[in-house]
Amino acid sequence: MTFIADNWMLISIALTSGLLLLWPTLQGFSAPGLSVNDAVFKINREKAVVIDVCTPEEFAAGHIVAAHNLGLDQLDAQLPQVAKNKSTPLLMVCASGQRAQSAASSAKKLGYEQVFCLQGGLKAWRDANMPTEKA
């Protein structure tokens, strides 16, 4: 007991670092984030399918060219129709990048092998002056 009392700070540091190392595992799947340049490479060279999980209103206001709009509530039912081949790279996009992580997790559960998220979402895409279109 005196060991714990004398070394409480070291023990708390060890426990904290252990929890931080386990955090990604405890949180579940986290899709790799791609920069805008890496996303363009995936789209152009690897023929990645762009899945926009924004609301229909956000999608209509502007989206990545040739993106498919699938809301989070529609993803499980409609993703297999949009991307039939489960080895096709998928690029999940939303306004800021938060919903895309959730969509990527759902896609992984459906068996898709290559799922990525656009870091910073559509905001980062627009900030890089990349082309968008309106519905």
Give me the active site residues, please.
94
C-alpha to C-alpha distance for 100 and 49, rounded to whole angstroms: 14
Residue among 12, 109, 4, 102 at smallest CA distance from 54: 102
Dihedral over alpha carbons 36, 86, 107, 51 (to 10 degrees): 40
Residue 66 corresponds to which tokens in the numbers above? 């040739």
C-alpha to C-alpha distance for 1 and 88, rounded to whole angstroms: 57
